[in-house]
Structure 1
Amino acid sequence: MDLISPASGLIIWQLLIFLAVLFILGKFAWKPILNALNERESSIEEALLSAEKAKEEMKQLQASNEQLLAEARKERETMLKEATSAANKIKDTAREEGEKERKRMVEDASLEIESQKKAALADVKQQVAALSVQIAEKILRENLQGETAQKSYIDKLVNDLNEN
């Protein structure tokens, strides 16, 4: 039974050694371990706070991004409307200028036609005058003998002119 029940001296020595180990552990091991645990706990809390702060910032950034996107869409729509309006104005201006150019060309062509018509009439008048001169020349060349021959020849020429 000696093995089962320890002697009182052994218990005292074991108690003294236990207290010494407890004191040494308390002095040198537990304080650094507790300090490390406290530091770890505080760093975890700081990380959680940082994560929460980052989450809030992300929400704000997301809201800001959505607002910027909405503004960009509005600006794009405005720019598209302005571009469409400008394109329509350019088309209208080009159409008006084309119409003015067409009218000017028609007027120029009309003036040219009128000018050519006058030139043609002048040419016709000149040809008529030349023909008249040729007729008169033929009459004078023919040296008509007698008044009756002259009258008959003049009547013949007048009939020819009336037929033409």
Structure 2
Amino acid sequence: MIEPGIGLLFWMTLTFLILLFLLAKFAWKPILTAINEREVTIVDSLNQAKLARQEVENLKAENEIIIREAKVERDQILKEARDIRDRIVGEAKGIAKAEGDKMIDAARQTIQAEKSAAMADIKSQIGTLSVNIAESILKQKLDNDGAQDALVANILNTSNLN
């Protein structure tokens, strides 16, 4: 007689083999197909994620390049603005200095002209005053004819007449 444990083992093995056959015939292909499709979907998703990550990194790199270029351009514009400002200030200083020098020269010329006019006026006044004083002194000394004759003789003796 067959032992009870071996019979049960036989039927379990037979049931397992039938189940395995049915699963292989009807279920393994759809399950493997679904697993393969799922694997392909996961691989595609991972590849798309990698591509998206690379694209984000590329965009970040491009943004950094654009920012650096913008900073360089900003610095260049600021430098040009400073240069223009310095040039304009320098030109204005030069013009102001030239105008100031012209005004100083004009003032010096005016002062010199007024000084010359004042000196000429003083010389004229001194000349007139000297003539008046000499005239007064001569009138007092030359009241008589003898003094006049002596003065004329003295002048003739001291001057060199050729």
TM-score range, shorter chain: 0.5 to 0.7
Q: Deviation string for 1:64-100 (max 9, x for gaps)?
A: 2202221331232233123212211221221121011
How large is the RMSD of aligned CA atoms in angstroms?
A: 3.7
- Structure 2's unaligned 5+ residue stretches are 12-38
Q: In the aligned structure 2, how far is the partner of 1:87 from the partner of 1:105?
A: 26
Aligned residues: 132
Q: In the aligned structure 2, how far is the partner of 1:158 from the partner of 1:53?
A: 128
Q: In the aligned structure 2, how far is the partner of 1:155 from the partner of 1:49?
A: 137
TM-score (norm 2): 0.61
Report the CA distance shift for 1:70/1:99 in structure 2 as closer, same or farther (over 3 A): same
- Following TM superposition, the consecutive aligned residue runs of length 4 or more in structure 1 with deviations greater than 4 angstroms are 11-16, 45-52, 154-160
Corresponding residue for residue 124 of structure 1: 123
- Structure 1's unaligned 5+ residue stretches are 1-6, 17-40
Q: Deviation string for 1:42-73 (max 9, x for gaps)?
A: 99x98886565344212212112202221331
1:3-42 to 2 correspondence within 5 Å?
8-11=3-6
Corresponding residue for residue 37 of structure 1: none
Q: In the aligned structure 2, how far is the partner of 1:159 from the partner of 1:110?
A: 48
TM-score (norm 1): 0.60
Percent identity of paired positions between Structure 1 and Structure 2: 7
